[in-house]
């Protein structure tokens, strides 16, 4: 067990929730993760993450989505300061250094997505180029509501895994 995980397992409930919340952004997810302590390894942490995530209500998923900045924007949403905002900047690094044309197309795509689905576009941006993300955004705009919610939830699950691994290494 890592020192970080051992320390987190021993924290008071409220402190443990606050510490893990930047990894996902859903208070219900963080609460249920804490309720599953002690967790003894990275593999167990990721497995618990998946189980908890799959069993959350759709509103909890949407709460997690709201903790992200829009693709192409450096500004973090209210309440997503600190570690979450820092990770978001790292995850979107390749997008923020893209051409103005791509940035404009992403901004237009974000607006179209929000109008269509009434929430922000979520994609696991780590390792993806801005043109790749734009292509994903355009493809997902063709999804129906249910398919898109499930795809966004899967992207958020992947983001949580990346952030949990970073959190353990911090």
Residues recognised as catalytic: 68
Residues in the chain: 170
Q: Residue 44, class by beta-carbon neighbours within 10 Å (0-12 exposed, 13-18 middle, 19+ buried)?
A: middle
Residue 74, both tokens = 């450096």
Q: Which residue has the tokens 């690094």?
A: 93
DSSP state of 170: -
8 Å CB contact between 94 and 128: yes
8 Å CB contact between 137 and 86: no
């Amino acid at each position: 067990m890592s020192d970080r995980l051992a320390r987190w397992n021993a924290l008071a409930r409220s402190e443990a929730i606050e510490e893990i919340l930047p990894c996902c952004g859903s208070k219900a997810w963080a609460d249920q993760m804490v309720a599953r302590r002690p967790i003894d390894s990275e593999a167990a942490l990721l497995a618990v993450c998946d189980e908890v995530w799959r069993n959350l209500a759709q509103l909890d998923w949407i709460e997690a989505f709201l903790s992200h900045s829009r693709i192409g924007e450096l500004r973090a949403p209210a309440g997503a300061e600190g570690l979450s905002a820092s990770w978001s900047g790292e995850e979107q690094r390749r997008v923020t250094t893209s051409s103005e044309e791509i940035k404009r197309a992403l901004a237009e795509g974000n607006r179209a997505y929000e109008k269509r689905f009434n929430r922000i576009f979520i994609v696991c941006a780590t390792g993806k180029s801005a043109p790749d993300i734009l292509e994903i955004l355009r493809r997902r705009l063709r999804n129906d509501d249910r398919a898109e919610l499930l795809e966004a939830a899967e992207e958020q699950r992947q983001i949580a895994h990346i952030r949990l691994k970073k959190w353990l290494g911090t």
